[in-house]
Amino acid sequence: MYSKSSVLVIMQEPFKIISWVKEALQKYEDIKVYTAATGLTGFAKFNEYLPVLVIVENDLPDMSGMSFSAILKDTDRGFNCTIYVLGVTSFMQNAKADYYFPTELNKDIFSMQIRTFFDRQYMRSHHSDEFERAKMRQNEFLPAYLETSTFKVDTIYSPFSELSGDGIDYWYGEDKEGLYGLLFDCTGHDIVSFTQVGEIRALLKRGCKYFQLGTISSLGEILKNANEDLFALHGDDTTPTAAILFFFDFKKNVLHYCSAGIPNFFIRHENSDAMNEILMENYLIGYEENVIFEEKELSLEGIDEIVFSSDGLSELMFKENIDNAKHDDVSAILIKILKCNVGKTDVHYEHLSERKVIS
Amino acid sequence: MKYVMIDGATAVISVEGAFNLCRTAIVNTELNSAYQQGCTKVAVDFFKTTSIDSSAIRDLTKTRRRVHPENFMARNATNAVLAALKAAKLDEWLKHE
């Protein structure tokens, strides 16, 4: 790993260059400057400190700066560092340095190059940190494994490339007789999709909470409202999202669900290993402004297990001749129903903190 | 152009194999070129397309909105492509066939 804040100057008389470097990088307080007087000591110092930038004069006592550059760039440690060669009067083939400066060095131009280089380094580092924070934040939103005496809920959440455009959530009601949940897939599986996740989650979850309170009467109405809100917020720039909402009414032993472009879900019956596919057809939210989303019901009689998933998973299940092991964000909510307790009102609820994240 | 052909005022998108995130960026670039050359309609020919992912659906939806629904159509969707379109009721794009 390169030291993002160190420079190696390989020159016999480095003091002028060191003062220019330090002056140019005043705003970066933690940058260290190391020195070496020859090419061979330069290799040793590089291996010791792994600087992100090497400034080498061409006229070294033991080798040319361009030879130093060509050798360092082909090592496993040095291939990605940046090398400036100073005092160049003619070019050698295959020198491999990043920048070449003439004998008459212009202080302003040199200082600007150094400053620009470290500004870019800083921005890269900053973006990388932001990226890591986004990944942590994404995982914080994953619901915990949930187990009650009526059901168990677990998840699979596997982004296509670190940040996912999928979202999942579930929770039980205060009456302790229902399991509510949502799964959505912001179309695409790139950073654009990821940026939409928070908004879609908020819109759908708000609707589900109103549904739970009885203010909204159907899951279809939640999707309709979310769809209208998306168009009100983004107009023609609205991006479509596939989603499914569900509500397990364990008192009546019925599953209510409403899809918006999620193509299917899977059920497994008691005493069977086979997963059966339930197909659905409906508009995506964010596709057309005035569309209806129809809620459907499924009796839970005889059903042991239900799997809701984004198409990133369903397109891989029970299919032949697949040439891509994974081609999209994958997310799923896996629900096991414990038959003996369905319908009882004195169920005991227990949260477990463990959750499954595959990435 | 690799994936977009110009046929009069119509830009015809034809992607062989998987129409996915890897292809959508090129398709969009070529579509912009087609618009600049005067295309006002878009047709998607799925004849050579074996699968379509959500990135392609997202971008085709936005393309449809840009040229207006009456100037957007699709054709020759079968198997996995047709199933993916049907799940989101996007097989209505084929109704103009």
Q: Check whether A352 has a pLDDT greater than 80.
A: no
Å between A139 CA and nearest CA of chain B: 22
- Condensed to tens digits (0 to 9), the pLDDT of residues A44-53 reads 999 999 999 9
Percentage of chain B exceeding pLDDT 70: 98
* Pairwise CA distance, residues A340 & A320, whole Å: 37
- Tally the residues of chain B: 97
Q: ipTM score here?
A: 0.84
CA atoms of A120 and B80, how far apart (whole Å): 45
Q: Which two tokens stand for residue B12?
A: 């015809």
pLDDT of A190 over the 80 cut: no
Judging contacts by C-beta atoms under 8 Å, the chain B residues touching residue A282 are: 88-89
B87 with A281: Cβ contact below 8 A = yes
Please give the radius of gyration of chain B, using alpha carbons only, rounded to the nearest integer: 12
Nearest one of A135, A243, A228, A134 to A187, comparing CA atoms: A243
pLDDT of res. A342: 58
CA distance A325 to A152: 28
A-chain CB neighbours of B21 within 8 Å are 188-190
Helix, strand, coil percent content, chain B, rounded in steps of 5: 50, 25, 25
Nearest chain B residue to A240, by CA: B58
Q: Is A145 helix (H, G, I), strand (E, B) or coil?
A: coil
pLDDT at A260 over 80: yes
A-B Cβ pairs (cutoff 8 Å, strict): 66
Residue type, A332: A
Q: Average per-residue pLDDT in chain A?
A: 87
- Is residue A293 pLDDT above 90, yes or no? yes
More confident residue, A77 or A55: A55
Q: Does the beta carbon of A327 lie under 8 angstroms from any beta carbon of chain B?
A: yes
pLDDT digits (tens, 9 = 90+) for B47-77: 999 989 888 999 999 999 999 999 999 999 9
Q: Which of A165, A261, A324 sits opposite B88 (nearest CB)?
A: A261
Contact: A187, B61; criterion CB under 8 Å: yes
Could you give all domains of chain B from N- to C-terminal order, each with its CATH number? 4-96 (3.30.750.24)
What burial letters (b/e) apply to A130-154, b meaning 16+ CB within 10 Å? eeeeebeebeeebbebbbbebbbbb
Chain A residues inside the 8 Å CB shell of B65: 236
Residue A51 pLDDT = 95
pLDDT band at A345 (very low <50, low <70, confident <90, very high): very low
Query: At A4, phi and psi to the nearest 5?
Result: -65, -10
The pLDDT tens digits of the residues spanning A271-284 come to 898 999 999 999 99
For range A205-218, the mean pLDDT: 93
Q: How far is CA A344 from CA A145, A338, A340, in A?
A: 22, 11, 9
